[in-house]
Structure 1
Amino acid sequence: MIKKIFKGILIFLVSLIILIGIGDFLWINLPKLSARKNISDIEDYGKGVSQINLDDNIEVVGLGEATHGNSDFQDLKLEVLKTLVEKNNLKSFAIEADFGEGMIINNYIHGNKRDENISRIFSFNIYHTKNMNDLINYMFDYNQKAKDEDKLSFYGFDMQDPEKSIELILDFCKENNILQEKDLQKDFSFIKDKKFKISKIIKYKEDLLLEIKAYADTLSSPKAKIVSRAITNVLDSVKYYELDFNDYTKANNVRDELMAGNVKWISDFEKAKGNKMLLISGHNGHIAKSEKFYEPMGSHLKKIFGEKYFIIGTDFYKGIVNINEVGPDSKRSNHVFVSADPLAYSARKFKGKYYLDFTKVKDGETFDLINKEINMVSLGEAYSPLMKFMPRSYRIKEVPKDLYDGMIFVYYAKPIAVND
């Protein structure tokens, strides 16, 4: 009798596991199959990236990336940058990287010594790639031939890694004989410590940084204004790292609002030089109009710039993504994901890549798709094997037009190759 009961329980459990497995298989794969559809009018609206045509009133262009780990999205930064430089006389580009790192890259592209691995400056190793070196050196090469007033500028709009900002602030103090009666290098020597904690800045050096900022604010040079903003970013970074990062919503709300403030400052700074348009690039989740769990940078920028902020999201149908694995080693590895996005599947009709301007789509099947919830991929910098069984961990179901003004779709996206 006991054997029969045990056998019955075993059969039930095995059957349950099989049913769960089948259910999970269908949950993962049915959306892929339903995305493989022929969109009858997509070729009427889809264009090449070089055919991006923006209205003259646009002041900030947001270019997103569905993941940080695909080389195709890094290549798109350069392709869109070149297009806007040629068509819209664009002069400035800002990326999701620390403000101080942007200052260093900007100094480099305005110099005369070429560096084939300049991307090593970034703290985020996702940017330590040939693709980013190519982008930066395109700007470097452009500036070698351009008049001073026509040269391109590079910025970072994030504030998570203030160490490089401090180094540049100290250089500025030395150049302008600011507080040289103090030993500033010694005062800030702790930033070179491998166990450096940002909280030390606010505890010991906030007053000193504010004193330097007061000096910088009395000067009228562009460099003084940039250094003043760098100090603001250092102090904002300290406040950010004082937050409880278990509160995901609050931490992201603070970061994205601060990044939006930097974009506004960069835009104003460039306008003062006569440069109307700014291209920014970051994760789709930051540049979008909305996000389910926090208010993204893009929402703040829409409030500031209104229709003068134009957002271009990105997606792939299938991609091999280089991503940071969850765990003590934090190693990077390649993993395959499928978005189940029918619009991205249609990139096959455009030799693997196309641009869709939502503002130009007035009716038809494409219109219906951009105005209803569809699957799209969204990956950050944390991978777990469990994600393979949980498609909602990497697929979002959103209305494309509610997030972006247009999108660039890639059929098959390749992984970044990190140089480290």
Structure 2
Amino acid sequence: MSTLEKHIIAAAEPFDRIDDSTFAEKFDRFKDARLILIGDASHGTSEFYTARAAITKRLVERFGFNIVAAEADWPDAHSVDQYVRHQTTVSAAESLNAFQRFPTWMWRNQEFKEFIEWLHRHNGDCPESEQAGFYGLDLYSLGASIRAVIDYLDKVNPDAAQDARKRYGCLQPWIEDPAQYGLVALKLGEAPCAEGVRKVLNDLLIRRLEYARKSDGAFLDAEMNAQIVRDAEEYYRALYHDPDLSWNLRDVHMFKILSRLLETKGSKAIVWAHNSHVGDARYTSMGMSRNELNIGQLCRENFGKDVVIIGCGTHTGTVAAANDWDGKMEVMKVVPSLEDSYERVMFNSGVPRFLLDLNQHKELTQMLMKPRLERFIGVIYRPATERWSHYSKAVLPKQMDAYVWFQESKAVIPFETDQPQFPPAVDETYPFGL
């Protein structure tokens, strides 16, 4: 056994069952943070979902965290938010019907359903001002967000609604497949719809006080959707001429939405997203080689010591993923982790499940500072080309503050495996879907 493995064994905080209260209690050390980002190494691993749910429950229930912000589209998440806040009569399962874009299993799964049922019960015992909400940070809801903005303006200012219809009408030909707008913009060498979508957002913000008086909390929803349309227009233009920029635009957008949510006095947020988004990009090949940033980096740069980043990893097992974008979900075997990877170092310790606090063990931290491979499985998994498709270099102790390890893991339990038949979307993380 190597010296490194001995140090990991000494530092590891083992646990058995995630649903045992002693698991979530391990994270009480982070209770004074304002922002806790919980990452996962795949979008289809049951243990990652249940672990972050257990951590989140404890932080919400005991330490006043009141925002759960996820790598999900705002309009879809809004349906869940209404359910957990008792603002609708639909069931948990019905609230999840909003998630109809590939990959549906990312949110339409049993593990997530059980979490929002818990949050619904928790909020039922709280005054409205103390309830925790669920929000989406992503920008893939162009059509739904346009409809939401216009519906809102129809109620508070019909003239402004007509102006928005005209300005958003520029995007109408590409609503079903907005990536095609990026191709058209590239060919034209211009941004045909940019000015219009910016004006809708600016006009909304100029009248913020007036609208907020008329509609209470509905203004925030309209503002966020207008922000999505504005940022999505720019994002899709960047897809073809600068993929690295498109990644940055997406994570900057997620940070903007999160920052807006944190403007409320007393707000404390938990972020659920992939390790590639929450692990500080400056200490991965994303930042070191490709000049990419992410929400984890932006949170640290703007909120400093108020931020804690927790990652999850696994050695082998099964995962819910697809072979291709918009493809059918499959339960796939996870190939055992590669030599020279952080996952293999954790596996070699022989401890099946543990928490590793990367800030508390100086000698171990120093030994882990050597850049190693780290596995990133998104909604697409290609085991045959795993080294090149799913591994990237990272410096784990700089990338994260803590790491939750599962030697073996299993796939989430999806509501369905077939995916909606929409036009093939070109995502900036294709074919890996992070």
State how far apart, in whole Å, the 1-side matches of 2:245 and 2:38 are. Answer: 24
State how far apart, in whole Å, the 1-side matches of 2:74 and 2:120 are. Answer: 19
Of all paired residues, the percent bearing the same amino acid is 18
Superposed CA RMSD: 3.3
Query: Helix, strand or coil: the match of 1:242?
Result: helix
Aligned to 1:332: 329
Letter in 2 for 1:113: T
State how far apart, in whole Å, the 2-side matches of 1:288 and 1:175 are. Answer: 41
Find 2:391's aligned residue among 383, 395, 417.
395
Aligned to 2:185: none
Find 2:13's aligned residue among 46, 67, 74.
46
Q: CA 1:314/1:377 → structure 2, altered by over 3 Å: closer, same or farther?
A: same
Unaligned runs of 5+ in 2: 16-22, 183-191, 417-434
State how far apart, in whole Å, the 1-side matches of 2:161 and 2:52 are. Answer: 45
1:58 matched to 2:33: yes
Aligned to 1:308: 306
Aligned to 2:430: none
Of 313-322 and 40-49, the range deviating more from structure 2 = 40-49
Which TM-score applies when normalising by structure 1? Answer: 0.78
Query: Helix, strand or coil: the match of 1:415?
Result: coil
Find 1:78's aligned residue among 47, 53, 69.
53
State how far apart, in whole Å, the 1-side matches of 2:161 and 2:252 are. Answer: 37
Give the number of the structure whose alpha-carbon radius of gyration is greater. Answer: 1
Q: CA 1:393/1:136 → structure 2, altered by over 3 Å: closer, same or farther?
A: same
Aligned to 1:236: 231
Of 225-234 and 162-171, the range deviating more from structure 2 = 162-171
Query: Helix, strand or coil: the match of 2:211?
Result: coil
Aligned to 1:282: 273
Q: CA 1:243/1:189 → structure 2, altered by over 3 Å: closer, same or farther?
A: closer
Q: CA 1:258/1:212 → structure 2, altered by over 3 Å: closer, same or farther?
A: closer
Letter in 1 for 2:276: G
Query: Helix, strand or coil: the match of 1:54?
Result: helix
Cα displacement string for residues 61-92 of structure 1 (whole angstroms, at most 9, x for unaligned residues): 11001111212111122111112123322111
State how far apart, in whole Å, the 2-side matches of 1:191 and 1:217 are. Answer: 28
Of 186-195 and 134-143, the range deviating more from structure 2 = 186-195
Q: CA 1:411/1:63 → structure 2, altered by over 3 Å: closer, same or farther?
A: same
State how far apart, in whole Å, the 1-side matches of 2:91 and 2:348 are. Answer: 39
State how far apart, in whole Å, the 2-side matches of 1:172 and 1:347 are. Answer: 55
Query: Helix, strand or coil: the match of 2:240?
Result: coil
Question: Within 5 Å, which residues of 2 pair with 1:120-131?
Answer: 120-122=97-99, 123=101, 124-125=103-104, 126-131=106-111
State how far apart, in whole Å, the 1-side matches of 2:366 and 2:202 are. Answer: 53
Which TM-score applies when normalising by structure 2? Answer: 0.76
Q: CA 1:209/1:405 → structure 2, altered by over 3 Å: closer, same or farther?
A: closer
Question: Within 5 Å, which residues of 2 pair with 1:25-36?
Answer: none
Q: CA 1:324/1:178 → structure 2, altered by over 3 Å: closer, same or farther?
A: same
Aligned to 2:96: 119
State how far apart, in whole Å, the 2-side matches of 1:181 and 1:257 are. Answer: 28
Aligned to 1:356: 356
Aligned to 1:373: 371
State how far apart, in whole Å, the 1-side matches of 2:166 and 2:121 are. Answer: 37
Instruction: Report how far residue 168 of structure 1 moved.
Output: 3.0
Query: Helix, strand or coil: the match of 1:82?
Result: helix
1:410 matched to 2:409: no
Conservation of the 8 A alpha-carbon contact between 2:194 and 2:234? no
